[in-house]
């Protein structure tokens, strides 16, 4: 068995992500995907661990979806891993061929399982083939840490992430819907790893993240400021914000809608959805000998009526 285990480990460690295949057998749960009240916990709904193990791919350890393959000895494998094992059963090493395990697919179709975000508050029970779609859109799925200065892997609900930002990332926390920040950098020509500032604001019973940083746009460095909402996109649309930067009698103003932290920091930044300041303009606003960046960014957040 040692050789078989080594084989599984080798396959699992390959840096490859395979999405579960789509199938016409998959049930479309439509608008109920984020409404656990329509799929509330049902009495006597239990799935034994042995059944769950039968539906677990022995290579990637993920749940299997149609088409589920099997070898002539009955060992099963998900369709995503089949090409990775070069058509050899990872359990017995026999040739896999194109045998489909219809019986196991029918067993899966009869199952109803709780959402994997049950511990975050989701009480829904979903058919096996609908569960994956629900989980990709579940309103209770955790958020990723919005801190952009490192590849932080922490996930959690909003109160958890607020505490994490404060305690672990030492992010500045402010109460109120207006802000006035000054950004100073002695060498504005250096933009590598220049995520300068993340500030969290608490207002209207919500939390907002203000980002300000330098990044490379083509051959020239630019500066961008934008706001993200700590919550879902449908709630973010209830708010607006404005940013203003200027100097030497000139100013630039940006007004927009905060993006949800469901959208990654990079996605928002690379879509240029914020106040963008070219370096020459930023140095002009800074005044003096134009060798040091001194930008004052002011703004406010308000709730739409």
Report in angstroms the alpha-carbon separations of 290 from 47, 253, 287, 293, 294.
68, 21, 6, 7, 9
pLDDT of residue 9: 55
Q: What is the pLDDT of residue 5?
A: 55
Judge contact between 53 and 5, C-beta under 8 A.
no
CA of residue 165 relative to chain centroid, distance: 17
The rounded Cα 275 to chain-centroid distance in angstroms is 23
What pLDDT sits at residue 190? 57
Helix, strand or coil, per DSSP, at residue 222: strand
Query: Whole-prediction pTM value?
Result: 0.70
Q: What number of CA atoms fall less than 13 Å from residue 104's CA on the CB side?
A: 24
**Burial class (CB within 10 angstroms; exposed 0-12, middle 13-18, buried 19+) of 234:** exposed
Alpha carbon distance 38, 251 (integer Å): 52
Q: Quick one: tokens of 156?
A: 């959690």
A 10 A CB-CB count for 68 gives 23
Residues facing 156 on adjacent strands: 143
264 to 25, 49, 147, 260: CA distances (angstroms): 32, 36, 10, 8
Expressed in angstroms, the distance from the first to the final Cα of the chain is 66
88-115, pLDDT tens digit by residue?
A: 898 999 888 889 999 999 988 888 888 9
Cis before 67? omega within 30? yes
| Residue length of the chain | 305
226 near 273, Cβ under 8 Å? yes
For residue 105, which of 71, 54, 59 has the smallest C-alpha distance?
A: 54
Beta bridge partners of 1: none
Spans of the chain below 50 pLDDT: 1-2, 15-33, 37, 41-45, 191-195
């Amino acid at each position: 068995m040692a050789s078989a285990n080594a084989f599984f480990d080798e396959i699992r460690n390959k840096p490859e992500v395979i999405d579960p295949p789509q199938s016409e057998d998959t049930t479309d749960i439509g608008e109920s995907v984020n409404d656990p009240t329509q799929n509330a916990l049902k009495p006597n709904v239990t799935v034994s661990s042995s059944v769950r193990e039968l539906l677990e791919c022995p290579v990637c350890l993920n749940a299997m979806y149609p088409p589920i393959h099997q070898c002539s000895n009955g060992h099963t494998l998900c369709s995503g891993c089949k090409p990775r094992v070069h058509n050899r059963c990872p359990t017995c090493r026999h040739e896999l061929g194109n045998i489909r395990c219809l019986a196991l697919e029918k067993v899966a179709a009869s199952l109803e399982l709780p959402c994997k975000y049950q511990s975050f508050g989701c009480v829904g029970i979903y058919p096996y083939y609908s569960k994956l779609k629900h989980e990709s859109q579940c309103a209770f799925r955790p958020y990723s840490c919005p801190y952009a200065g490192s590849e932080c892997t922490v996930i959690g609900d909003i109160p958890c992430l607020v505490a994490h930002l404060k305690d672990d990332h030492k992010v500045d926390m402010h109460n109120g819907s207006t802000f006035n920040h000054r950004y100073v950098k002695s060498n504005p020509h250096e933009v590598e790893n220049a995520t300068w500032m993340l500030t969290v604001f608490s207002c209207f019973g919500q939390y907002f993240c203000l980002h300000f940083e330098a990044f490379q746009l083509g051959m020239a460095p630019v500066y961008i400021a934008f706001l993200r909402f700590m919550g879902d996109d449908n709630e973010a649309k209830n708010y607006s914000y404005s940013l203003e930067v200027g100097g030497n009698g000139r100013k630039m103003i940006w007004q927009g809608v905060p993006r949800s932290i469901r959208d990654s920091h990079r996605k928002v930044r690379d879509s240029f959805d914020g106040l963008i300041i070219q370096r020459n303009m930023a140095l002009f606003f800074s005044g003096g000998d134009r060798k040091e960046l001194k930008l004052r960014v002011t703004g406010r957040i308000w709730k739409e009526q």
